[in-house]
Structure 1
Amino acid sequence: MKLVRIEVFNFRKLRRARLDMSDKQTLLVGANNSGKTSAMKALRKFLKDRGGIDTRDVTASNWAAIEQIAGAWTQEAEADLSPLLDQLPFLDVWLHADTSELHHVAHLIPTLTWTGGLLGVRLRLEPKKGADIKAGYLAARRDAEARQPDGTTDNGFALWPRDFREYLDKRLKDLFELNAHLLDPASFVASGAVAPPPLPALSEGIGANPFAGLLHIREINAQRGFADAGDGKGDDGELVHADSRKIASQIQPYFRKHIDPETDPTPNDVKALMAIHDAETTFNARLKDGFANAIKELEELGYPGGLNNPKLFIATQIKPVDGLDHPAAVQYDISGDTSGVKLPESYNGLGFQNLISMVFQLMRFRDDWMQVGKFKSKMVSPDDRGIEPLQLVLIEEPEAHLHVQVQQVFMARAHKVLRNHKDLEKEDSAFTTQLVVSTHSGHIAHAAAFEALRYFKRELPSHGVVPTATVANMKGLFGEDTQTRRFVTRYLLSTHFDLFFADAIIVIEGAAERILLPHLIQHHYPVLAAAYLSFLELGGSHAHRMRPLIEALELPTLIITDLDAVAEVDKGGKVVKQSAQPCYGAAQTTANNVLKTWLPKLDEVDTLLAPLLKALCHKAPDRPIAVSYQTPQNVTIGAVSKNVTPSTFEDALVLTNPKAVTDAARTEFSCRMTRAFAKSIAEAQSPEDLAKELFDRLAKKPEKAAFALDLLYIEDIKALRAPPYINAGLTWLAGQLKGVEGVLCQL
C-alpha cells in the first residue's frame, strides 16, 4: 500500500495543486513564498491534526466569490451551500492498495466491483450537524444593523459582522468540521489540468478520520528550538525554554513507551527497580535526619500539631523517568580518553544538536510505529499488533544549523533510518514508509533523486487578489529522451540545485560571463542585484538540453549565448564549414543549437541579424524565456564610427569597454590575451580592423577566464558596462522580475 497523489484545493497559496508522491521520499522545493509551507500545513491539518482550519487558511483570492455567495442569501430562499463548500479548503487523497490489503481499506472501497488499485478520499469542511450557517449569518447581520447608530456608516464604522469573512473569523470552528467522502477511482486523471473530480451522487460522509488504523503520521516541524550554552538563562541558571533541551525532552516519551521498567517488568527490570527502591530508602532516611530540627521547630510553634492536624513528613519518591528530567540528562563525552570529561547537550553546536535530534525523532517514529519494546506487552497477542500498514513522515526544513555535507548525509539516510527494523528491511514488507521533506537547500535537493523533486512555482494573480502556486512534477519530465534526462541530472549533480530556489535563471556560455556578470549586475541592474539569480554555465551546444526543465520551472530565464557564425570554405576541393567573423550578407549560418532548435529556431545569420530582429532579443511566445546573442553594435575609432558584430562575449566586452581593457593590461601579471587586446585597441585604424584583430586573437588559444580575472583588477569596476546584447537581455529580465512585460531592445 502507498500514497499515490495528494491534491490540495483552496488552502492558502495552493488554490489547485497536485502533489504526486514518490514511493520512498518526496522533496518539496521552490523559491521563498512559493507554497511549500502551505503544502506541509495542509497535510498536517487534514491528515494529522484533522482540524484547526481557520479563515486564514482559505485562499485569499476566493473571498470575493465567498462574499458574493453569502451576499445572495435571503431570509426566504433556501441556501445551497455547495458553491460555498467548493470555495473552502479540501484535500483529495489517492492511495493504491492490493486485494490482499482489503481488511485495511474495506471502508474506503466505493463499489463491490473493486479488485485492487486506486482508492480516493476527499476531506473537506462541511457544516456541523444542526448548524444553520445561513440563518446564523443573516441573524447576526440583522442584529448588527439594528444596533448600528444612525449616521455612523459614513466614517466606515460597522458592528460585527461587517461581512461573511468577519463572521467566519469567529464562528468557523463552531459551524464547520472535517468530513470524508469516497471518490470514484474512474475519475482519477493521470496528468493534465488540476481539477477536483465530482463527488458521486448521494455521497455520504464517513467521518473526519477515514485513515484510522491505516495511516501512521508523524512530523518534524521547522520550529526546532535549540540554544547555545549561556543563552536564555533564568535567575536560577536554567534554560528558560524547555524546547532548548530538545533531545532530553524526546528521551522521556521514548523511555515511557519502550523502556520503562515498571511496565511489564522483566528480570532485569526487577533488578533496576530494587536498586531504585534501595536508593529511595537510603535517601529518605537522610531527608528525615536532615529536616528533623526544622520540623521540630515548626511543631513548637503549634503548627502542624494536635490530633486533627497531620504531621509534616518529607520523603522522596524516585520514578525511573525522573533521572532523565533535567538539563544534563543528555551529555557528550569530549575527553577522547579515559578521563571522562562530559558536558550537557546545550554546550554542543547547534548543528550537531539538530542532527541528533532529528535522527532520534526518526528512530522514535519508527519504533512507535513498530511498537518496539514495552509496546508489545500492551497488545493482545504478538500476531495481532494493530500496526498501520502505511507511515507518512513530514519534515520541514531539515537544513537548519547543518553545514552542507551533513545536509546531504541526512537526506541520503533519513529514509533508511525509518526502515531500520527487521519487519521493514525486506523488499516485500507489508509496511510502507513515505517521507515528505520541504526544503530551501540545494544541497538537500542534491542528495535526492531528481524524480523525487516537486517544484513549487509562483503564479501571478490572474484570477484573484494574491499570487498562488502550482506544482511541477520532475518525474517523467523528459519523457522517453533518456539521453537528455541523463545529461540534465548529471549536470545538476555535478554543479548545483540552486535553480530550484531562484527568482530567475541566467544561462551563460562560459567562465568569463560567470566571473563578470555578477559585477555588472551588482552595479548597473539594481532589480536583478536584489533577486536570487541562478547562473547555469552550459555553452551553446548544451543549453537546449535543459529546455524541458527550464520550461517546467516557468521562471524568468535569460539565455546569453554566442552567435557562433560559420561559413563554407573550400579546402583542397572539399567544402567545409569553419568559424567566421559574423557578417551580414556573407551567407553564413549559426552553429548554435539554442538558436537553431529552441529560440528563435533560425540558422541563417542574415535572418538573425535582419533589421527587424537585430534590435531585440527573441522571447518565447508562451513562457518568460528570452535569448540574447551578439548583434551589430556601434564602435568609434578616432573620428570613425561604424556598426560591427562581435563573435563572443569577450570581444563584445572589449568593443564596449576599450579603456577598461587598456587599464587591465597595465596591471602586473596580466595575461597575454589581455595585453594583445590592449595592443589591438591602440593600433586599430577603424572599427572593422579592431573587430577583425579581436576575432583572430580569440581563435588562438583564448585565455577567456584569465582575461575576465584581469578586468577585476581595474580601479573602478563600476566603469565596466555590459555589451549591448547583454544589456538588452538583462533589462528584459529586470522587467520580468518587476512584474512588467519588458521590451527587448538595444539601449
Structure 2
Amino acid sequence: MKLRRIEVFNFRKLRRARLDMSDKQTLLVGANNSGKTSAMKALRKFLKDRGGIDTRDVTASNWAAIEQIAGAWTQEVEVDLSPLLAQLPFIDVWLHADTSELHHVAHLIPTLTWTGGLLGVRLRLEPKRGADIKAQYLAAREAAQTLQPGGATAKGFALWPRDFREFLDKRLRDLFELNAHILDPMSFTTTGPVEPQALPALSEGIGSNPFAGLIHIREINAQRGFADAGDSNGDDDEPTNATSRKIASQIQPYFRKHIDPEKDPTPNDVKALEAIHDAETTFNARLKDGFADAIKELESLGYPGGLNNPKLFIATQIKPVDGLDHPAAVQYDISGDTSGVKLPESYNGLGFQNLISMVFQLMRFRDDWMQVGKFKSQLVTPDDKGIEPLQLVLIEEPEAHLHVQVQQVFMARAHKVLRNHKDLEKEGSAFTTQLVVSTHSGHIAHAAAFEELRYFKRELPSQGVVPTASVANMTGLFGADNETHRFVTRYLLSTHFDLFFADAIIVIEGAAERILLPHLIQHHYPDLAAAYLSFLELGGSHAHRLRPLIEALEVPTLIITDLDAVAEVDKGGKIVKESVQPCCGAAQTTANHVLKTWLPKLAEIDELVGSPPTALCHTAPDRPIAVSYQTPQKVTLGSVSTSVTPSTFEDALVLTNPKAVTDAAGTGFSCLMTRAFAKSIAEAQAPEDLAKALFERLAKKPEKAAFALDLLYIKDIKVLRAPPYINTGLTWLAGQLKGVEGAA
C-alpha cells in the first residue's frame, strides 16, 4: 500500500494544490513563504491530529465568498451549506492498494467490483450533528444588534459577532468536525488542473478517522526545542515538549514502551529487578540508620507517637525508569581511551545534538510501528488492528543547526533508518514507509533524487488578495528527452540546488559575470540586492536545456547571454562559420542556441539588434522569463560619440567603463588582457576603433576571470556600471520582484 497523491484545498496558502507522492521520500522545496509549511500543517491537522483547524487555516482569499454566502442567509428559508463547505479546508487522499490488502481497505472501496488500484478519501469540515450554523449565527447577530442598534461606534467598537468570520473565530470547533467521504477512482486524472471531485448529493460520511489501522503517522516538526503556537504537543507518550532536541527527554517513553523490565518480565528482566530490590533494601537500611537521630528527636516532642498515631518511617522506592530521569542520562565518551571521560549531551554542539536526536526519533518511530520489544502485540487503542501497512513520517526543516555535510548524510540515510528492521528490509515486504520532508536547504535537496522534489511556487495575486501557491512535480518534467534530463540533473548535482529556494534566477555565461554581477547589483539595484538570487553559470550553448525546469518553476528568470555573431567565410575553398564582430547588413547569424530556439527565436543578427529599444529584453509571453544580449550601445571617446555593438560581456563592460578599466590596469599585478584593454582605450581614435581592438584581443587567449578580478581592485567599485543590455535586464527583473508588469 502506498500514498499516491494528496490534494489540499482552501488551507492557508494552498487554495488548490496537488502533491504527488514518491514511493520512498518526497521533498518539499521552494522559496520562503511559498506554502511548504502550509502543506506540512495540512497533513498534520487532517491526518495526524484529525482536527484543530481554525479560521486562520482558511485561505485568506476565500473569506469574501464566505461572507457573501453567510450574508445571504437572512433572505433564505432553506439553506444549502454545500457552497460554504466548498470554501472551507479539505483534502483528498489517494491510496494505491492491492487486492491482497482488501482486509485493510474494505471500508474504503467504492464498489463491490473493485479489483485493486486507487482508493480516494476526502476529509473535510462539516457541521456537527444537530448543529444549525445558520440559526446560531443569525441569533448571535440579532442579539448584538439588539444591544447595539446603531452598529459600530465612531471609535470602531462593535459587539460580537461583527461578521461570519468573527463568529467562527469562537464557534468553529464547537460547530464543525472532520468527516470522510469516499471518492470515485474513475475520476482520478494524472495531469490537468487541480479541481475537486464533486461528491454525490447523498454521500454519507464514514467518520473522522478512515485511516485507522492503515497509516501510522509520526512527525518531527521544525520547532525542535521551542513551542509552536497552535500545534499539539504531539504523541500521547511524548514528554511535555514533544519535539525537544535532547535524547534524554526521549529515552523514557522509549524505555517504558519497549524495554521496561516490570512489563512482561523475561529471565534477564528478573535478574535486573532482583538487583534493584537488593539496592533498594540496602539503601533503606542506610536511610533508617541515617535518619534515626532526627526521628528520635521528633518523637521526643510527643508527635508522632502514642497508640493512635503512626510512627514516621523513611524509605525509598526505586523504579527502573527513575534512573533515566536526570539531565545526564545520556552521555558521550570523549576520552578516546580507557580513562572514560564523559560529558552530558548538553555539552555537545547543537548540530550534533540535533542529528543524534532526529536519528533516534526515526528509530523510535520505526520500533513503535513494528512493535519492537515489550510493545509487541499490545493493543494501544480499541480500534487498533495490529501493525498498519503504511508508515508516513513528516519532517520539517531537518537542516536546523546541521552542518552542510551532515545535512546531506541525514537526508541520504533517513529512509534507510526507517527501514532497518528484518520485516522491512526484505523485498516485497507487506509494510511501506513513505517520508515527507520540507526544507529550505539546497544541500538537503542535493541529496535526493530529482524526481523526488516537489517545488512550491508562489502565485502573485491579481487584485491585491493574499498570494497563494501551487506545486510543480519534477517527475517527468523532461518527458522522453533523456539526454536533457541527464544533463540537467548532472549539472545541478555538480553545482547547487539553490534555484529551488530563490526569489529570482539569473543565468550567466561565465566567470566574469559571476564575479562582477553581485557587486553591480549590490550598489545599483537595491531591490535585487535585498532578494535571494540564484546565479547559474551556463553558457549560451546549454542554457536552453534548462528550459523545461525554468518554465516549471515560474520564478522570475533573467538569461544574460552573448550575441555570438558568426558569418560564413571561405577558408581555402571551404565555407565555414567563423566568429565575427557584430555588424548589421553583413549576413551574420547567431550561434547562440538560446536566441535561436527559445527567446526570441531569431537567428539573423540584423533582426536581433534591429529591435526597437523597448524590446531589447525579450520576454516570454506567459512566464516571467527574459533574455538580455549585446545590442548597439552609445559610446563616447573624446569628442566622438557613436553606437557600436559589443560581442561579449567583457568588451561591453569596457565600452561602458573605460576609466575604471584604465584604473584597474594601473595596478602592478593586473593581467595582460586588462593592460591590453587599457592600451586600446588610450590609442583608439573613435568608438569603432576601440570596439574592433577589444574584439581582436578577446579572439586571442582571453583572461576573462583575471580581468574581472582586476576590476575588484579599483578604489571605488561603485563607479562600475552595468552595460546597457544588462542594465535593461536587471531593471526588468527588479520590476518583476516588485510585481510590475512588462519588460523594460
| Distance in structure 2 (CA, Å) of the matches to 1:605 and 1:668 | 40
Q: Report the CA distance between 1:78 and its aligned residue.
A: 1.6
RMSD, aligned CA: 1.7
The aligned amino acid for 2:394 is L
Report the more deviating stretch, 639-648 or 369-378. 369-378
1:634 is aligned to: 634
Where 2:86 maps in the other structure, the secondary structure is: helix
Report the more deviating stretch, 19-28 or 454-463. 454-463
- Residues 274 and 196 from structure 1, CA distance in 2 versus in 1: closer, same or farther, beyond 3 angstroms? same
1:605 is aligned to: 605
Where 1:472 maps in the other structure, the secondary structure is: strand
Where 1:413 maps in the other structure, the secondary structure is: helix
1:709 is aligned to: 709
1:286 is aligned to: 286
1:93-151, Cα deviation, whole Å (9 max, x unpaired):
00100001000000000101111000000000000011111000000000011111657
1:399-439, Cα deviation, whole Å (9 max, x unpaired):
01100000000000000000000100112000000000000
Q: Report the CA distance between 1:243 and its aligned residue.
A: 6.7
1:30 is aligned to: 30
Query: Would you say the 8 A contact 1:109–1:119 is kept in 2?
Result: yes
Where 1:73 maps in the other structure, the secondary structure is: helix
Q: Report the CA distance between 1:244 and its aligned residue.
A: 5.7
| Distance in structure 1 (CA, Å) of the matches to 2:164 and 2:150 | 22
Kindly indicate whether residue 320 of structure 2 is the aligned counterpart of residue 320 of structure 1. yes
Q: Report the CA distance between 1:303 and its aligned residue.
A: 3.3
Kindly indicate whether residue 567 of structure 2 is the aligned counterpart of residue 567 of structure 1. yes
Alignment of 1:184-195 (within 5 A): 184-195=184-195
Query: Would you say the 8 A contact 2:246–2:345 is kept in 1?
Result: no
Kindly indicate whether residue 83 of structure 2 is the aligned counterpart of residue 74 of structure 1. no
| Distance in structure 2 (CA, Å) of the matches to 1:300 and 1:610 | 112
The aligned amino acid for 2:362 is L
Alignment of 1:230-245 (within 5 A): none
Kindly indicate whether residue 486 of structure 2 is the aligned counterpart of residue 496 of structure 1. no
1:398 is aligned to: 398
2:734 is aligned to: 734
| Distance in structure 2 (CA, Å) of the matches to 1:497 and 1:18 | 22
- Residues 472 and 710 from structure 1, CA distance in 2 versus in 1: closer, same or farther, beyond 3 angstroms? same
Where 1:255 maps in the other structure, the secondary structure is: helix
Query: Would you say the 8 A contact 1:245–1:346 is kept in 2?
Result: no
| Distance in structure 1 (CA, Å) of the matches to 2:463 and 2:658 | 50
1:231 is aligned to: none
Kindly indicate whether residue 19 of structure 2 is the aligned counterpart of residue 19 of structure 1. yes
Report the more deviating stretch, 2-11 or 281-290. 281-290
| Distance in structure 2 (CA, Å) of the matches to 1:536 and 1:661 | 26
The aligned amino acid for 1:620 is A
2:90 is aligned to: 90
Query: Would you say the 8 A contact 1:144–1:160 is kept in 2?
Result: yes
- Residues 459 and 51 from structure 1, CA distance in 2 versus in 1: closer, same or farther, beyond 3 angstroms? same
| Distance in structure 2 (CA, Å) of the matches to 1:129 and 1:201 | 18
| Distance in structure 1 (CA, Å) of the matches to 2:372 and 2:152 | 66
Report the more deviating stretch, 565-574 or 617-626. 565-574
| Distance in structure 2 (CA, Å) of the matches to 1:431 and 1:243 | 26
2:449 is aligned to: 449
Q: Report the CA distance between 1:74 and its aligned residue.
A: 2.1
TM normalised by structure 2 equals: 0.96
Where 1:33 maps in the other structure, the secondary structure is: coil
Where 2:434 maps in the other structure, the secondary structure is: strand
| Distance in structure 2 (CA, Å) of the matches to 1:688 and 1:306 | 119
Q: Report the CA distance between 1:7 and its aligned residue.
A: 0.3
Q: Which runs of 5+ in 2 are unaligned?
A: 228-239
| Distance in structure 2 (CA, Å) of the matches to 1:366 and 1:385 | 17
Where 2:73 maps in the other structure, the secondary structure is: coil
Kindly indicate whether residue 475 of structure 2 is the aligned counterpart of residue 480 of structure 1. no
Q: Report the CA distance between 1:305 and its aligned residue.
A: 3.3
Where 1:726 maps in the other structure, the secondary structure is: helix
2:305 is aligned to: 305
| Distance in structure 1 (CA, Å) of the matches to 2:643 and 2:339 | 79
Query: Would you say the 8 A contact 1:219–1:395 is kept in 2?
Result: yes
1:548 is aligned to: 548
Kindly indicate whether residue 60 of structure 2 is the aligned counterpart of residue 57 of structure 1. no
- Residues 112 and 224 from structure 1, CA distance in 2 versus in 1: closer, same or farther, beyond 3 angstroms? same
| Distance in structure 1 (CA, Å) of the matches to 2:99 and 2:698 | 69
Query: Would you say the 8 A contact 1:62–1:464 is kept in 2?
Result: no
Where 1:733 maps in the other structure, the secondary structure is: helix
| Distance in structure 2 (CA, Å) of the matches to 1:433 and 1:718 | 55
Q: Report the CA distance between 1:356 and its aligned residue.
A: 0.3
Query: Would you say the 8 A contact 2:446–2:497 is kept in 1?
Result: yes
Q: Report the CA distance between 1:297 and its aligned residue.
A: 2.5
Where 2:250 maps in the other structure, the secondary structure is: helix
| Distance in structure 2 (CA, Å) of the matches to 1:741 and 1:127 | 43
Q: Report the CA distance between 1:293 and its aligned residue.
A: 2.1
The aligned amino acid for 1:345 is E
| Distance in structure 2 (CA, Å) of the matches to 1:374 and 1:192 | 49
2:148 is aligned to: 148
| Distance in structure 1 (CA, Å) of the matches to 2:664 and 2:463 | 53
Query: Would you say the 8 A contact 1:568–1:578 is kept in 2?
Result: yes
Q: Report the CA distance between 1:182 and its aligned residue.
A: 0.1
The structure 1 segments of at least 4 consecutive aligned residues displaced by more than 6 Å after TM superposition are: 240-243
TM normalised by structure 1 equals: 0.96
Q: Report the CA distance between 1:189 and its aligned residue.
A: 1.1
Where 1:424 maps in the other structure, the secondary structure is: helix
Q: Report the CA distance between 1:644 and its aligned residue.
A: 0.3
Query: Would you say the 8 A contact 1:562–1:647 is kept in 2?
Result: yes
Identity %: 89
Query: Would you say the 8 A contact 1:608–1:614 is kept in 2?
Result: no
1:247 is aligned to: 247
Query: Would you say the 8 A contact 1:614–1:631 is kept in 2?
Result: no
Alignment of 1:62-461 (within 5 A): 62-74=62-74, 77-148=77-148, 153-225=153-225, 246-376=246-376, 378=378, 386-461=386-461
1:715-744, Cα deviation, whole Å (9 max, x unpaired):
001010000000000000001111112442
Report the more deviating stretch, 553-562 or 201-210. 201-210
Kindly indicate whether residue 687 of structure 2 is the aligned counterpart of residue 687 of structure 1. yes
Q: Report the CA distance between 1:379 and its aligned residue.
A: 6.8
- Residues 432 and 226 from structure 1, CA distance in 2 versus in 1: closer, same or farther, beyond 3 angstroms? same
- Residues 585 and 105 from structure 1, CA distance in 2 versus in 1: closer, same or farther, beyond 3 angstroms? same
- Residues 150 and 90 from structure 1, CA distance in 2 versus in 1: closer, same or farther, beyond 3 angstroms? closer
Q: Report the CA distance between 1:314 and its aligned residue.
A: 1.6
Q: Report the CA distance between 1:292 and its aligned residue.
A: 2.0
The aligned amino acid for 2:328 is A
1:662-714, Cα deviation, whole Å (9 max, x unpaired):
11111121110000000000000111110000000000010000000010010
| Distance in structure 2 (CA, Å) of the matches to 1:544 and 1:245 | 45
1:663 is aligned to: 663
Query: Would you say the 8 A contact 1:226–1:354 is kept in 2?
Result: no
Where 1:283 maps in the other structure, the secondary structure is: helix
Query: Would you say the 8 A contact 2:108–2:121 is kept in 1?
Result: yes
| Distance in structure 1 (CA, Å) of the matches to 2:606 and 2:218 | 62
1:505-526, Cα deviation, whole Å (9 max, x unpaired):
0000000000000000000000
| Distance in structure 2 (CA, Å) of the matches to 1:643 and 1:360 | 67
1:233 is aligned to: none
Q: Report the CA distance between 1:343 and its aligned residue.
A: 0.3
1:718 is aligned to: 718
Report the more deviating stretch, 179-188 or 142-151. 142-151
1:150-196, Cα deviation, whole Å (9 max, x unpaired):
57534422100000000000000000000000000011111110010
Q: Which runs of 5+ in 1 are unaligned?
A: 228-239
What is the number of equivalent residue pairs in this alignment?
729
| Distance in structure 1 (CA, Å) of the matches to 2:180 and 2:589 | 62
1:643 is aligned to: 643
- Residues 377 and 599 from structure 1, CA distance in 2 versus in 1: closer, same or farther, beyond 3 angstroms? closer
Where 1:122 maps in the other structure, the secondary structure is: strand
Where 1:378 maps in the other structure, the secondary structure is: coil
| Distance in structure 1 (CA, Å) of the matches to 2:615 and 2:105 | 64
| Distance in structure 2 (CA, Å) of the matches to 1:464 and 1:13 | 15
1:271-300, Cα deviation, whole Å (9 max, x unpaired):
000000000111111111222222222333
Q: Report the CA distance between 1:340 and its aligned residue.
A: 0.3
1:621-672, Cα deviation, whole Å (9 max, x unpaired):
0000000000001111111111000000000000000011011111121110
| Distance in structure 2 (CA, Å) of the matches to 1:177 and 1:579 | 70
Query: Would you say the 8 A contact 2:245–2:358 is kept in 1?
Result: no
